[in-house]
Amino acid sequence: MFTKLALTLMLLSASVNPASQGVILPQPLAQHSMPLDDRYSNPYVNGVFKDNILLTLNYLSGAVKSAQQISWDDVEKPFHFEFTLQPGQTFAFHDSLLPEYAGRVVKTTNTHFNYQDGFKSDGYLTGDGVCHLASLIYWTAEDAGLAANAPTNHNFAPIPDVPREFGVAIYVSPSSAASARENLYITNNKKAPVSFIFDYRDNLLTTSIMVD
């Protein structure tokens, strides 16, 4: 059975029009993209935001499991990966959870976005940029009709290319109960598994959600 990526590559390599061959490609429930070269007006700060976003995705995919494994050349390479939620399962952006999600979360980004995990600082905060990634995921999940909950809006600052109502504030501290409210929770409320798909190429990050 072909994966979605394998099917796409097969069609591209054949250099044919899929419609003319009677091939119906699966369509995502929702898909949104975000360039990583306009996260912030200052080029240095933008670079910090970009690297922190890409590092979070490398933790999420399992390509990086600790700061000691980080190679920034590898982190910044193009990539494709996906993960699946079964019906009723929940993804949380980090592991500081509201009580109602206890026992339901099966996937997180596997990081706390701090110096110990290898995240960069722009001189103000370590981990700046991860709110942009959470907001892109939230926007896509909402458009896909999943049960998405972002308790704290990022209304203190705009997030370029993401509508303001989908801004998500992310913060995690083991000593702060407020961390659970500065999180993102997405539950698969469909009757079938759903896949979250991430593609990064040419400075563009794309998030798609598909029913398996």
- Confidence band for 16, pLDDT divided at 50, 70 and 90: very low
Predicted confidence (pLDDT) at residue 10 exceeds the cutoff of 50: no
Whether 50 maps to a domain, the answer reads yes
| 86 occurs within a structural domain | yes
| Residue 161 vs residues 38, 123, 158, 182, 204: alpha-carbon distances, Å | 9, 24, 9, 21, 12
- Which residue has better confidence, 176 or 182? 182
Reported as a single tens digit per residue, the pLDDT across 51-94 is 999 999 999 999 999 999 999 999 999 999 999 999 999 999 99
Residue 182 and residue 172 in contact, taking contact as beta carbons nearer than 8 Å: yes
Count the domains in the chain: 1
| Residue 20, domain member (yes or no) | no
The more confident residue out of 8 and 111 is 111
In a domain, residue 83? The reply is yes
Rounded CA gap, 25 and 39, in Å?
32
In single-letter form, the type of residue at position 124 comes to Y
Domain containing 189 equals 29-211
**Predicted structure pTM score:** 0.88
Give the per-residue pLDDT at 34.
98
Q: Are 77 and 57 in contact (CB under 8 A)?
A: no
Whether 7 is in a domain gets the answer no
Task: Please check whether residue 160 lies inside any domain of the structure.
Answer: yes
Flag whether 17 is in a domain.
no
Question: What does the pLDDT look like over 32-60, one tens digit per residue?
Answer: 999 999 999 999 999 999 999 999 999 99
pLDDT single digits (tens) 128-174:
999 999 999 999 999 999 999 999 999 999 999 999 999 999 999 86
